[in-house]
Amino acid sequence: MLESIPLEYYLGLSAIIFAIGAVGVMTRKNAIIIFMSIELMLNAVNLTFISISSFFGNTGGPIFVLFVMAVAAAEAAVGLAIVLALFRLKKTVYVDEVNTLKW
């Protein structure tokens, strides 16, 4: 059943998702949207892991993905706490308006 769509399609798809996420991180100014783009990149990585592991019949991939999810959840909690702390102080979530640290 799996043979009808080759592995390359899945890998290509995840490469495109990764690239879209990277574009978001580099071009957007809103901290929350940057964070969402990072989640896109992580999803692309997870897709790569899962497709490789199911084509090669190896269980390492799903395990890794589980841990990536745990770490992503921890990152989400910490990241949004930081964004909230920033919003309390500066009333903004735009990274270009946060520039007290300069030389």
- Of 24-53, binders to another protein (CB under 8 A) are 24-53
Determine phi and psi for 28, rounding to 5 degrees: -80, 155
How many residues at the interface with another protein, by CB under 8 A? 95
CB of 97 to another protein, least distance (A): 9
CB of 100 to another protein, least distance (A): 5
CB of 6 to another protein, least distance (A): 9
Q: What is the footprint of another protein within residues 69-88 (CB under 8 A)?
A: 69-87
Alpha-carbon torsion angle 61, 32, 20, 6, nearest 10: 30
Q: Is 51 exposed, middle or buried (0-12, 13-18, 19+ CB in 10 A)?
A: buried
